[in-house]
């Protein structure tokens, strides 16, 4: 992921005529995001809130260059929407839609990797580059321009961290919610690389959760590749261990999935860790 992806100008909304799509098109435009068009299969030719509606991305591309697509289409159609954007070679695709089947994401992820485009999400609040671009549903008021890069799996904790830092007068360069689904377009490491390479970022906040091993991989990456200070919190220290259905989790090393072991891995990578979101916000310098 290059930083230019997020500061690019021409944004479209797939599913612009739905209630979420229409509502958030308005909030994104109110925050200065340059939305050139939207798609809706049966409503081509309409104008929503001053934005022209097309049937397909291909049709939009006859009139505009498309840099970024933000997707709000309902879950049953999200796979087709993402694949349409991939085939149209839209460089940055952000899928807000919740409830995309995991088998659909396997297919999307495979196609995205072959096509060299970036997908963020699904089931995520998107990206806020305060003062520059609002790409999704993170309220612009939560952020303020500055030099922290925030990446989080949890939507609500993305807001919490951004709002908490803003209240302390610490601004952010990026606020990225990567979503909590099993298969994610973009992971922690992609975001850490972006933050490390962007000179506008001077410190990093990482918010993880119990389950999976992406925080362990993030810790390995930080150890070898990240020079900037990282502050982290893993949600779920007090969570009960879920009732395991099969043996597969245990065979594949489910013990590393607790908040404590993830926190330890991050500490060993030199990360400043917190045991609550409150202390995380206080710890950032």
Partner 1 sequence: MRLLEHEAKALLRANMIPIPEGVIITKHDTRSSIHLPTVLKSQVPVGGRGKLGGVVVVKSKEELESAIDTLFSLDIKNYTPNVLLAEEKISILREHYVSLLIDRDSASIRLIAYKDGGVEVENNISSHDFLNIAIDESTLDSDAKQLASYLEYDIKLVRPLLVHLYATFTRNDATLLEINPLIYTTEGTLICGDCKMELDDAARFRHPEWNFEDKPSDTNFVSLDPDGSIATIANGAGLAMATVDAVAARKMKPANFLDIGGGANTASILIAFKRIMEFKRIDAIVINIFAGITRCDEVARAIIEAKKQIDSLPPLFIRLAGTNFEEAVALLAAENITTMASLDECLAAAKEVTHA
Site residues, partner 1 (CB under 8 A): 75-76, 98-106, 109-110, 125, 137, 139, 152-157, 159-160, 163-164, 167, 180, 182-184, 207, 209-210, 212-214, 217, 233, 235-240, 243-248, 250-252, 259, 275-279
Considering the complex, state which of residue 54 and residue 233 has its C-beta at the smaller distance from partner 1: 233
DSSP calls for 232-262: EEEE-TTPPPPPP-SSHHHHTTGGGGSHHHH
Q: How far is the CB of 64 from partner 1 (least distance, A)?
A: 29
> Which residue in 180, 222, 223 sits closest to 204, CA to CA?
222
- The rounded distance, in Å, linking the Cα atoms of 69 and 90 is 7
Considering the complex, state which of residue 59 and residue 278 has its C-beta at the smaller distance from partner 1: 278
The residue annotated as part of the active site, out of 20, 217, 237, 247, is: 247
Do the strands 172-177 and 51-54 form a parallel or antiparallel pair, or are they unpaired?
unpaired
Q: How far is the CB of 93 from partner 1 (least distance, A)?
A: 16
- The rounded distance, in Å, linking the Cα atoms of 40 and 226 is 42
Considering the complex, state which of residue 268 and residue 279 has its C-beta at the smaller distance from partner 1: 279
Considering the complex, state which of residue 83 and residue 183 has its C-beta at the smaller distance from partner 1: 183
Q: How far is the CB of 197 from partner 1 (least distance, A)?
A: 23
Residue carrying the six token digits 């209240």: 167
Active site residue 58: no
> Which residue in 2, 15, 7 sits closest to 32, CA to CA?
7
Phi and psi based region of residue 19 (left: phi greater than 0; alpha: psi -120 to 50; beta: remaining)? alpha
So which residues are the catalytic ones?
247
């Amino acid at each position: 992921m290059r930083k230019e992806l997020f500061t690019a100008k021409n944004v479209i909304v797939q599913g612009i005529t739905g209630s979420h799509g229409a509502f958030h098109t308005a909030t994104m435009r109110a925050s200065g995001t340059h939305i050139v068009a939207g798609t809706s299969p049966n409503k081509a030719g309409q104008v929503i809130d001053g934005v022209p509606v097309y049937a397909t991305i291909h049709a939009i591309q006859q009139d505009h260059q498309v840099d970024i697509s933000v997707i709000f289409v309902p879950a049953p159609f999200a796979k087709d929407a993402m694949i349409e954007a991939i085939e149209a070679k839209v460089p940055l695709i952000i899928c807000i839609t919740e409830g995309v089947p995991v088998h659909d994401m396997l297919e999307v992820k495979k196609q995205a990797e072959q096509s060299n485009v970036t997908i963020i999400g699904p089931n995520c609040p998107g990206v806020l580059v305060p003062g520059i671009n609002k790409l999704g549903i993170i309220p612009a008021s939560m952020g303020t321009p500055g030099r922290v890069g925030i990446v989080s799996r949890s939507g609500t904790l993305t807001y919490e961290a951004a709002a908490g830092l803003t209240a302390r007068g610490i601004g952010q360069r990026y606020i990225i919610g990567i979503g909590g689904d099993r298969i994610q377009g973009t992971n922690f490491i992609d975001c850490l690389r972006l933050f490390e390479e962007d000179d506008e970022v001077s410190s990093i906040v990482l918010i993880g959760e119990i389950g999976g091993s992406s925080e362990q991989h993030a810790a390995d990456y930080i150890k070898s590749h990240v020079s900037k200070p990282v502050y982290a919190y893993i949600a779920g220290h007090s969570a009960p261990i879920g009732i395991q259905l099969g043996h597969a989790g245990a065979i594949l090393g489910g013990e590393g999935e607790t908040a404590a072991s993830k926190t330890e891995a991050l500490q060993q990578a030199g990360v400043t860790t917190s045991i609550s979101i409150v202390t995380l916000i206080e710890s950032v310098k």
